[in-house]
Structure 1
Amino acid sequence: MFRHTKSLQFEAKPEKPDALYARKLQELIGGAYGEMTVTMQYLFQGWNCRIEGKYKDLIMDTATEEIGHVEMLATMVARLLEGAPATMVAEAAKDPATAAILGGMDPQQAIISGGGATPSDSQGYPWNGRYVVASGNLLADFRANAAAEAQGRLQTARLYNMTDDPGVKAMLQFNLARDTVHQKQWLAAIEELKADGLESDIAPTALFDEENQDHNNTVWHLSDGPDGAKGGWSFGEDGIEYLMDPEPLGGPGTAPKPDPALFGTYAPLQDAVGTVKGKAKDAKKKATKSRKS
């Protein structure tokens, strides 16, 4: 059960409207690392969590907070859009949709949501459930959560430097702080999972004896960059071995003969090679005859 409280977690009042910035803020709502993503990510992680207690409670507490972050941002977007189509564009633009576009607003904010936020990113692309990571493995999920909060904080920090509005900055200062603590909590929760004996460094903690033992501690040097082996990961007892001149272990990646009904262009490898050699031989004979004549 969820219960809505008619108060924002933190105030969301801009000093003045700014349609263009409202569009930029949409990234923090419906972008790949926006608040809708972490909201749904944490909710599904919590609902799917098989352990009652501290881990599930932490996930659900954070998930519910993120719902409030979506509300804060949506409120801020609506307030930034207040009067924007009518007051912030050229006098010649009488049509509301045209005025909205000229003012920097996403046209859908005017046409579809009536001057409010939309469940989409800063380019108007709809939020997508495929952004969500909820695997049921808490180690893998908590690592994904820390990464999501890092990306979200990065985008918030960039947007913070794109406005001089004190009201917007105050809200983003709060959001930055929450992204900071959420990174801390997921990183700490990862360590606690290991301390509780539920997970180790590698997710999942299974099939170590089944995996190919020749290839579970090597990095293949496959770029021109020469310095990868100089990193700290290559030293110490558990250092990862750098293979400086790796060789391919498999044969040609030739696709099988296609289904005739699909009309794929195809020639057996030997025939194709023979044809090429035959053509080369014929060309050589012609060249020899030409020189003799």
Structure 2
Amino acid sequence: MFTHNKRLQYTVRVSETNSGLANLMLEQFGGPQGELAAACRYFTQYLAEDDPGRKDMLIDIATEELSHLEVIGTIVAMLNKGAKGRLSEAMEAEAELYKNISGAGNDSHVTQLLYGGGPPLTNSGGVPWSAAYIDTIGDPAADLRSNIAAEARAKIIYERLINCTDDPGVKEALGFLMTREISHQRSFEKALYSMQPSFPPGKLPGMKEFASVYYNMSDGEAGERGPWNSEPGFDYREAQPAVDGGSGMAEVGLMKTEKAAIDQLAIRTRSDPQSDPCTGAELGMDPASGPGGDAAKTSSPAPKPGSTGSSGRGSKSKP
């Protein structure tokens, strides 16, 4: 059961309307790193979580993200108030109105014309929100790591939005939302590391002979070495094929009937490596520059339909 308090979690004060800035704010309303995506991600995890502590944490944070969606949506709506009134009531001449909505930048005219200045569930580029943003996999260790990364990405977006405005009230509200991303990261990390062991995710262990190997897959100058590819944590090796000791070739077991069909297919579709057929593209190619060079100049053109012999006049033979 959900209840709604009519007061926002954080007071929003907007000094002046700015439809271009409103359009940028949509990134955190209907974008991949936005509040709706976060709320849905944590809510779906909450539904499937069996650990009581993590379950309670997930629904608390999911619900708070909905309150953040309300805050950022309110900011969008308030920044669009001026444009909404001008468009709805046609208070300006056509040319002046067109100038105002097209000169705001950031494709904000789309938001104003299609949605009347309200906050649509799109990102700042007008791309509709998608459930594909939700990457829940159903394993706590994997999902919590994904949640930590999602909160980190959202914090970065808020930082960039703060740098795009000089409105003190908007900056303050965005600063609050950014700070809550930090708090959520900490909660998710605490929950992750309270699980022992928490790495690797899942139940099955890795293959011991490969779990701590680093393969240098780049030719050329020696690459940088660090704790990500150095001893004692990693066995640093040059790239090599067939690390399992096998042939390195693809192998498949086939029944006799399957093998017979495959062999028949191979024979029927076999290419002749000794052939050099003339292609359709080559028929219209400049002989001097095409395949064969000067030799192509001596080749006879294909006779045209209805022609006889090499005269090229298309004369018909007499009966």
TM range (shorter): 0.7 to 0.9
| Equivalent AA in structure 2 for residue 65 of structure 1 | E
Provide structure 1 residue ranges, at least 5 long, that are not aligned to the other structure. Answer: 254-265, 280-286, 288-293
Deviation at 1:167, TM superposition (A): 0.8
SS in 2 for 1:115: coil
Q: Which has the larger radius of gyration?
A: 2
> Does 2:16 align with 1:21?
no
Q: Deviations over 1:190-242 (max 9, x none)?
A: 11122xxxx42101122x2xx544433323322357565611133454x1223
Alignment partners' CA distance in 2, 1:64 and 1:180: 16
3-state SS, counterpart of residue 220 of structure 1: strand
**2: distance between equivalents of 1:178 and 1:160?**
15
2:273 — aligned with what?
276
Does the aligned pair in 2 maintain the 1:142–1:186 contact within 8 Å?
yes
TM-score between both structures, scaled by the size of structure 1: 0.77
> For 2:111 and 2:78, how far apart are their aligned partners in 1?
12
- For 1:155 and 1:46, how far apart are their aligned partners in 2? 25
CA gap of 1:46–1:230, structure 2 versus 1, over 3 A, is same
For 1:106, the equivalent position in structure 2 comes to 108
Give the C-alpha shift of residue 185 in structure 1. 1.2
1:80 aligns with 2:82: no
Question: Counterparts of 1:209-224 in structure 2 under 5 Å?
Answer: 212-224=207-219
1:138 maps to 140
**Deviation string for 1:8-38 (max 9, x for gaps)?**
0111221111111100000011111111110
| SS at 1:276 equivalent | coil
Q: Is the 8 A contact 1:97 1:107 kept in 2?
A: no
Distance in 2 separating the partners of 1:98 and 1:171: 30
Identity %: 30
**CA–CA separation in structure 2 for the residues paired with 1:227 and 1:36:** 45
Give the TM-score normalised by structure 2.
0.71
**SS of structure 2 residue aligned to 1:83:** helix
The residue that corresponds to 1:36 in the other structure is 36
Say which structure, 1 or 2, has more relative contact order (CA 8 Å, 6+ apart): 1
Equivalent residue for 2:229?
234
Q: In structure 2, the residue corresponding to 1:234 is in which secondary structure? A: coil
Corresponding residue for 2:201? 203
Distance in structure 2 (CA, Å) of the matches to 1:147 and 1:228: 27
Instruction: Specify which of 237, 243, 262 is matched with residue 243 of structure 1.
Output: 237
Relative distance call for 1:144 and 1:109 in structure 2 (3 A) is same
Residue number in structure 2 paired with 1:148: 150
Q: Distance in 1 between matches of 2:2 and 2:112?
A: 30
Give the C-alpha shift of residue 55 in structure 1: 0.8
Which has more helix, going by share of residues? 1
Q: Distance in 2 between matches of 1:85 and 1:225?
A: 59
For 2:69, the aligned partner's letter is: V
Mapped to 1, the partners of 2:166 and 2:97 lie a distance apart of 27
Aligned to 1:182: 184
Could you give the per-residue CA deviations for residues 119-167 of structure 1, whole angstroms, max 9, x where no partner exists? Answer: 1100010110011122221111110000000000011111111111101
Q: Deviations over 1:28-61 (max 9, x none)?
A: 111111111101001101111122x211111110
Number of equivalences: 256
Question: Are the aligned partners of 2:17 and 2:78 in contact in 1 as well (CA < 8 Å)?
Answer: yes
Give unmatched runs, 5+ long, in structure 2: 252-264, 277-294, 296-319
Task: Give the Cα separation in 2 of the matches to 1:125 and 1:45.
Answer: 25
Tell me the equivalent position of 2:317.
Answer: none
Give 3-state SS (helix, strand or coil) of 2:157's partner. helix
Q: Which amino acid letter does the alignment assign opposite residue 245 of structure 1? A: A
CA RMSD of aligned residues (A): 3.0
CA deviation after TM superposition for structure 1 residue 97, in Å: 6.9
- Look up the equivalent residue of 1:276 and give its one-letter code: P
CA offsets per residue over residues 268-288 of structure 1, 9 Å max, x none? 69943xx22465xxxxxxx9x
Aligned counterparts of 2:140 and 2:154: Cα–Cα separation in 1: 20
Q: What are the residue-to-residue correspondences of 1:244-263 with 2, within 5 Å? A: 244-247=238-241, 250-251=248-249
Question: 1:269 and 1:193 mapped to 2: Cα distance?
Answer: 59
* Number of the residue aligned with 1:165: 167
Structure 2 CA distance for partners of 1:82 and 1:50, relative to 1, 3 Å: same
User: What is the rounded CA distance, in whole Å, between the counterparts of 2:100 and 2:77 in structure 1?
Assistant: 16
